[in-house]
Amino acid sequence: MEMTIISEQEKEKLRQSFLKKRNSMDTHEIKNYSRKICDRIIHSTLYQKSQKIFTFVSFGTEVDTTPLIIHALSNHKMVAVPKVFSKTRKMIFSRITDLNELGKGHFGILEPPSSLLREETSDEKTLFIVPGLIFDIEKYRIGYGGGYYDIYFKKNLSSAITIGVAYDFQVISKIPRESHDISLDWIVTEKRCI
């Protein structure tokens, strides 16, 4: 793996540039592209064979994961979403049975309340849907800078299949990476699967 050295300041500029572009999308684009992305996943063999879906709950202009969550729950797949403990920088995935179980948590993102935590672990029958701001064709990602997914994957990623979801403009030829970065198995956009 070839690493490109980049300062944290340069990485933050890159994040802000892509966040600004994503935030300029209108709600129709977000809904339309998100539906296409979710449909690509739902109709994939990987999804059909999976028993567990570990997914982020979308926030703001992120790819809307709601259609995927609803489909998975209605098709009796086990769905788990992140619960963040900011003081310890820990993230777990907790099983949900309904979107109404979620409340505002860390950063205002919907997550299970502490009273409803049912921690789950991933396995070879798990599809892991991963957010990010920037991805590259080698399936590396730059997230929001908190490191929650990097830390989680280092400790917990088993043989689950990882899928980054993004709008096509968020995928570039190459992003700077560090030795601790882990590539995903797939990236799904409204236009393609990489």
Closest-CA residue to 181 (of 144, 147, 158) = 147
Specify the pLDDT at position 123: 93
Specify the pLDDT at position 6: 67
> Which letter does DSSP use for residue 179 in this model?
T
Specify the pLDDT at position 89: 86
Given a cut of 70, the residues of the chain with pLDDT beneath it are 1-6, 157
Distance CA 184, CA 135 (A): 10
Distance CA 36, CA 28 (A): 12
Q: For residue 126, what are the β-bridge partners?
A: 52
Q: Which backbone phi and psi does 187 adopt, to 5 degrees?
A: -130, 130
CATH 3.40.50.300 fits 8-188, yes or no: no
In contact, 83 and 92? CB cutoff 8 Å: yes
Residues 6+ apart with CB under 8 A from 166: 63, 132, 135, 187, 188, 189
Q: What are the tens digits of pLDDT across the range 14-49?
A: 999 999 999 999 999 999 999 999 999 999 999 999
